[in-house]
């Protein structure tokens, strides 16, 4: 009976982890805090707070229903490991790389074609709404873009229009938060397909 319990616990660890288990894994792998010190419970709680603020839609943290403790999905643990506690890259760059890799993994597993995240051209007014930035900010970014490729901009009915390729460039180079948003939304689309295919995602098996 005891052996079965251990087996079940080990299988659950493939789905979600407690804070203590996350802390143990991070420290045994000698992953350090931003201050290059051993990660503490305080560091971990702060990291999870940031994770929730940035990616609550990913449902990586369990809700406290039956338990006083929260659990983190294994995918959330990987985010903590490869993004938040990544001391070699900026948070936004590590975040983008993480979601790009997760998307590739989902697409490969589900055997689906990659989705085009940039589907249409936009004028300046549309870009201002799209990126939620002032015209002046958009114009400065466009000037940077034109220096790289002037074909990303054309004139239609006496106004400048940016091609979808140009919008992709702006998202990846100037407005990375938007690119990350698009990646997260697409990743969650794939996640829902993953769940419908019968795979386990945010199921905490009544431990929450």
Encode pLDDT of 97-150 as tens digits. Answer: 999 999 999 999 999 999 999 999 999 999 999 999 999 999 999 999 999 999
pLDDT tens, position by position, 150-164: 999 999 999 999 999
- Residue 67: its pLDDT value, please? 53
d(CA 125, CA 123): 6
Nearest to 143 by CA among 173, 176, 178: 173
- Residue 68: its pLDDT value, please? 64
Mean pLDDT of 63-82: 83
Whole domain around residue 25: which residue ranges? Answer: 1-88
d(CA 13, CA 7): 10
- The answer to whether position 105 is within a domain reads no
Q: How many domains does the chain have?
A: 2
Same domain, 80 and 161: no
Nearest to 80 by CA among 59, 94, 101, 62: 94
Same domain, 1 and 78: yes
- The answer to whether position 179 is within a domain reads no
Same domain, 76 and 2: yes
C-beta atoms surrounding 138 within 10 Å: 22
- What per-residue string of b and e applies to 103-130 under the rule 16 or more CB within 10 Å gives b? beebbeeeeeeeeebbeebbeeeebbeb
Same domain, 142 and 81: no
pLDDT tens, position by position, 9-48: 567 778 889 999 999 999 999 999 989 999 999 999 999 9
């Amino acid at each position: 009976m005891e052996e079965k319990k251990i087996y079940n616990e080990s299988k659950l660890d493939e789905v979600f982890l407690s804070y203590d288990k996350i802390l143990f894994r991070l420290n045994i792998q000698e992953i350090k805090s931003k201050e290059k010190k051993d990660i503490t419970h305080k560091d971990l709680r702060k990291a999870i707070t940031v994770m929730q603020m940035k990616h609550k839609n990913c449902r990586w943290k369990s809700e406290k229903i039956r338990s006083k403790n929260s659990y983190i999905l294994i995918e959330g643990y990987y985010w903590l490991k490869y993004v938040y506690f990544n001391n070699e890259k900026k948070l936004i760059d590590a975040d983008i790389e993480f979601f790009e890799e997760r998307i590739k993994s989902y697409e490969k597993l589900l055997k689906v074609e990659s989705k085009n995240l940039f589907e249409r051209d936009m004028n300046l007014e549309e870009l201002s709404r799209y990126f939620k930035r002032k015209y002046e900010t958009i114009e400065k970014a466009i000037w940077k873009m034109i220096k790289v490729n002037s074909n990303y901009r054309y004139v239609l009915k006496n106004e400048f229009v940016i091609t979808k390729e140009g919008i992709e460039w702006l998202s990846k180079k100037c407005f990375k938060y938007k690119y990350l948003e698009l990646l997260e939304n697409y990743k969650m689309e794939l996640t829902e397909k993953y769940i419908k295919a019968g795979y386990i995602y945010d199921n905490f098996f009544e431990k929450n």
